[in-house]
Amino acid sequence: MMKPWHWLPVDLSHDLGKRFIKTAGNLPYRRLTYRPLEWMGLTFENPIGVAGGIDKECEQIRGWWHYSAGFVEVGTITPQAQLSLPKPNILRDAKSKVLWNRLGFPNPGQSRALQLLRNLPEPHFTPLFVNIGRNRETSNERAHLDYIRLIQLLSPVADTFVINISSPNTVGLRNLLDPETLSRFLGELHEVRSEMANKGMYRPLLLKLSPDIETNQFKEVIEICKNNQIDGWVLTNTTAQRSDSRWPKDGGLSGGLLAPLARKSLETLVETLGFQRQKYLIVSCGGVLSAQDIADRLMMGAHLVQVYTALALEGPWFIRNSLFELKDQDPNPISLRHIGA
């Protein structure tokens, strides 16, 4: 069913939505428990999270807590502030439930992000993931320095970092997924994470994967991650593939067109990990458009599920409505799960 905001220009709808969620942060936080999970000292009261890219400015977190998100991911944050790429940079098709974006990591930069995140109550109402990336002007040869700087600065305010090297909207960024390059890159991040751990700030690292890499490379990437003590994966980012000529050739697609690719990536990851799956956190994202989609991803082996397009199209009530529907169908909805070492 068409929502009232679907009749508005997409840019206006996007801006009004951000203000609406930010304002909701003044309302009481609401916790809904469904299949709670403990991992790395963090407790997730439910497995439904807000995907990276929704709150790029770190200003909506309290609002999502009001709407019962099980966890929130902010960013992508880069060292220096960035504006969006030139418009048009967002398009939508509400009927086919597809979003296209070419935003390119617009964000307030690390210093402003630190200031905003410091203002949150401690401990956080839910786990807080911080998605980090490189600036557009930073070369891949120096990309690790951007990520190192972000981990060093934001570790006091982050519960987990999501390493974003899979966005199609930063030129050349996905080249960091080349196996040889990736091994060096993750080795650098492992070192700085160890340094922060020595200061009492161990923060798990999750790698956000592209849906567009071939199966053999995907499996090689997973092995490289395991060798460099990556704690889990978010899969997947938006896709650069085009099965529909209506959409611009650049930018990334999410929603219905991404769903089969995201499901395939999840299947491949679970198969690759085998019995080791419970050692790592698996977060499924991409084409999650209903409560049944959430149930399916959990059944397939994901520990957590993130939503993006569904929030833009259905509104923030999607999380709570899905939780009520899932709880009605589950005979044991509040059994606590544990994963990790």
Helix, strand and coil percent figures for the chain, each rounded to 5: 40, 20, 40
Tens digits of pLDDT across the chain (341 residues): 656 655 567 777 777 888 888 898 899 999 999 999 999 999 999 999 999 999 999 999 999 999 999 999 998 999 999 998 989 888 888 888 888 889 989 999 999 999 999 999 999 999 999 999 999 999 999 999 999 999 999 999 999 999 999 988 888 899 999 888 999 999 999 999 999 999 999 999 999 999 999 999 999 999 999 999 999 999 999 999 887 778 888 888 999 889 999 999 999 999 999 989 899 999 999 999 999 999 999 999 999 999 999 998 888 999 999 999 999 887 677 677 788 75
pLDDT number for residue 64: 96
Residue 315 phi, psi (nearest 5): 90, 170
pLDDT number for residue 12: 75
> β-strands 252-255, 98-101: how paired?
antiparallel
DSSP conformation class of 28: P
> β-strands 90-93, 71-77: how paired?
unpaired
pLDDT number for residue 8: 65
Give the integer Cα–Cα distance in Å for 51 and 137.
25
Kindly calculate the radius of gyration of the chain based on its CA atoms and give it in whole angstroms.
Answer: 18
Selected catalytic residue, list 13, 167, 254, 322: 167
Q: Which tokens belong to 156? A: 């006091």
pLDDT number for residue 158: 98
pLDDT number for residue 1: 60
Pick 4-339's CATH classification: 3.40.50.2300, 1.10.645.10, 3.40.50.300, 3.20.20.70: 3.20.20.70
- Measured CA to CA in angstroms, residue 165 lies from 52, 137, 140, 223 at distances of 13, 15, 10, 17
167 is catalytic: yes
Give the integer Cα–Cα distance in Å for 197 and 281.
19
pLDDT number for residue 2: 59
CA 261 distance to own-chain centroid: 16
- List the chain domain ranges: 4-339
pLDDT number for residue 94: 81
- pTM, full prediction: 0.94
What is the three-class DSSP state of 179?
helix
pLDDT digits (tens, 9 = 90+) for 87-141: 988 888 888 888 888 998 999 999 999 999 999 999 999 999 999 999 999 999 9
